Copies of this chain bind each other. A is one copy, B any other.
Amino acid sequence: MSRTKILLDERDIPSHWYNVVADMPNPPAPPLGPDGQPIGPDALTAIFPEALIEQEVSAERWIPIPEEVREIYRLWRPSPLYRAHRLEQALGTPARIYYKYEGVSPAGSHKPNTAVAQAYYNREAGIRRLTTETGAGQWGSSLALVGEMFGIEVRVYMVKVSYEQKPFRRSMMQTWGAEVLASPTDQTEAGRKILAEDPDSPGSLGIAISEAVEEAASRDDTNYSLGSVLNHVLLHQTVIGQEAKKQFEMVDDYPDVIFAPCGGGSNFGGVAFPFFADKAAGKDVRLVAVEPASCPTLTRGHYAYDFGDTIGLTPLLKMYTLGHDFVPPGIHAGGLRYHGDSALVSQLYHEGLIEAVAVHQLPTFEAGVQFARAEGIIPAPESNHAIRACIDEALKCKETGEAKTLFFNLSGHGHFDMASYDKYFSGELEDFEYPAEAIDEALHHLPKVAGEG
């Protein structure tokens, strides 16, 4: 039997992040200010250090990774690429299935890849305190992990529904020394506004972002840190795809189709963008973003300028959106409950260069359980989205007899999601279809931008 795990040496941790902007056919649509005009980098200095703002707007293909960041990556990177022999056998498919396992990080997902970088640049800029939001808790725990390592205090606004579903993600953040609040809180204007409208608000990533941004903008010693959506976040995640490319070389294979869950886009961008570089150079590879049918940003949203947060504190980003005030149903993939999407992912999708598919919650858990019983690892509910789409493709191969190479990013483990699995087993989980009438309704919630339809 060929190898199960394809491993790299610590020396193979990438020395640079890959910036997909350099290979996009068109420059990214610029972020706009409240006046509808493109914002300059200065507009962001209240909440981000200069180095990250530069990365946010950079068009350079390669951006060097600081040695201190690479040192911390060595605690878990390079992550293994697995050949899913046992899953292939269980499915009876001629397809070759591979997955990159990012759950090996101490926080259990891909999120620390950018957390390390963000903490580093903030510390270099003299910042000693960071605020952030978290949905599933994967991002918040990642920032908590590295905050301690760089001597930075971390306050996490955790979406209330996840705070309640996942008390142990909170404990994990506290173990690493962070402070965790259930959002909406009464400690920010944004939070108080939401609570006044709905005291029982389950919260959302959009609301939590509003709270974290508001606090960072109002305190000189404090910056804000985002776990997805922004260009520099996706940039940092490209270590995943770069490593994967080397690992495929080692076994003399190359993916025909790549699947990644897509909420804010950092998971998808991280694994897919380095392969997009090949695609831009003529290589035949399909890149598929997999999103929840209950929050189908790419597949059913509008491509328009919208706020990144619920209250409207962020610059306007051109992206697929369901409206910045959309509160997604409380599905168990908390990391995918976001109304918008990365501007880079959105533009590539709009230009037909990548694909997207929406899947329902119950079939994703079914796929996750099938995966766990074959391969051992219990996946995070977010990751189950990619597994579902990959299994569907593998089953198509079974029908057609095609021996395609399929690859998905197993972005994290499900150790803090067992309550969700419990609900799946006991039949308490539901599917939520995003309602057709909400699509038109969302149009009316988009901010008016000069020159935009």
Which A positions have Cβ atoms within 8 angstroms of B? 1, 3-5, 7, 9-10, 71, 74-76, 86, 104-108, 145, 148-149, 167-168, 171-172, 174-177, 369, 372-373, 375-378, 413, 415-416, 418-419, 421-422, 425
A418 to B174, CA, bound (A): 10
A108 to B227, CA, bound (A): 26
Contact A71 B1 (CB under 8 A): yes
Closest residue to A369 on the B side, CB-wise?
A: B175
Known: A10-B3, A74-B4, A378-B172. A415 touches B373 (CB 8 A): no
A421 to B174, CA, bound (A): 9
Known: A175-B369, A415-B415, A416-B415. A75 touches B10 (CB 8 A): no
Contact B176 A372 (CB under 8 A): yes
Known: A5-B10, A419-B168. A376 touches B145 (CB 8 A): yes
Which of chain B's residues have a CB closer than 8 A to the CB of A378? 106, 172, 175
Which of chain B's residues have a CB closer than 8 A to the CB of A145? 376
A-B contact sample (11 more), CB < 8 A, given A167-B422, A177-B373: A5-B10, A105-B376, A106-B372, A106-B375, A106-B376, A108-B415, A149-B373, A168-B415, A171-B418, A175-B372, A175-B373
A167 to B422, CA, bound (A): 10
A172 to B379, CA, bound (A): 11
A1 to B11, CA, bound (A): 12
A5 to B11, CA, bound (A): 11
Copies in the complex: 2
Known: A168-B418, A422-B171. A373 touches B4 (CB 8 A): no
CB distance from A165 to the nearest CB of B (A): 12
Contact A75 B415 (CB under 8 A): no
A5 to B8, CA, bound (A): 11
A260 to B369, CA, bound (A): 33
Known: A168-B419, A171-B418, A171-B422. A176 touches B74 (CB 8 A): no
CB distance from A213 to the nearest CB of B (A): 27
A108 to B375, CA, bound (A): 14
A174 to B3, CA, bound (A): 29
A1 to B67, CA, bound (A): 11
Closest residue to A424 on the B side, CB-wise?
A: B175
CB-contact partner of A172 in B10, B176, B418, under 8 A: B418
Contact A376 B175 (CB under 8 A): no
A25 to B176, CA, bound (A): 46
Which of chain B's residues have a CB closer than 8 A to the CB of A167? 418, 422
Which of chain B's residues have a CB closer than 8 A to the CB of A108? 415
Which of chain B's residues have a CB closer than 8 A to the CB of A376? 75-76, 105-107, 145
Known: A10-B5, A376-B145, A415-B108. A175 touches B75 (CB 8 A): no
Which of chain B's residues have a CB closer than 8 A to the CB of A75? 4-5, 86, 375-376
Which of chain B's residues have a CB closer than 8 A to the CB of A372? 106, 175-176
A7 to B10, CA, bound (A): 9
Which of chain B's residues have a CB closer than 8 A to the CB of A172? 378, 415, 418
Contact B5 A74 (CB under 8 A): yes
Which of chain B's residues have a CB closer than 8 A to the CB of A176? 372-373
Contact B74 A148 (CB under 8 A): no
A369 to B378, CA, bound (A): 25
